[in-house]
Amino acid sequence: MNIDSIQAMYQASPADVMKEMQSENDDKKTSDFSSVLDSAMKMISETNSYQIKAQNEEIKFALGESSNTHDLAIAQKKANIALQYTVAVRDKFIQAYQEIMNMQI
């Protein structure tokens, strides 16, 4: 039901209004979960890219192509911090999931 005009508002029953509000809430919940999932996937891909950059820096340093230990240390630290953050988010997600599963209905 689309409530665009004042006349339609007067003709709508309370049940119609509740249905409209529920459908709007369902759309919002879906988009909220979708945005959280997209954010998590982006975080995982960023962590992966940091890991790959750190590995590439290690290979360049081992082959003697780079003598700058500063770049190597920065790449390793970024990869380590990103991985720690990703693991912390994963642990919180698992903890929340377990808490929901243990709820009594």
pLDDT tens-digit map of 49-93: 999 999 999 999 999 998 889 999 999 999 999 999 999 988 988
Task: Give dist(CA 84, CA 74) in Å, integer.
Answer: 15
Task: Give dist(CA 84, CA 76) in Å, integer.
Answer: 12
Average pLDDT in the 24-32 region? 60
**pTM for the model:** 0.62
Average pLDDT in the 3-15 region? 50
Task: Give dist(CA 102, CA 105) in Å, integer.
Answer: 9
Task: Give dist(CA 48, CA 39) in Å, integer.
Answer: 14
pLDDT-above-70 percentage for the chain: 70
As given in the structure block, the two tokens for residue 28 are 């919002």
Residue 5 has pLDDT above 60, yes or no: no
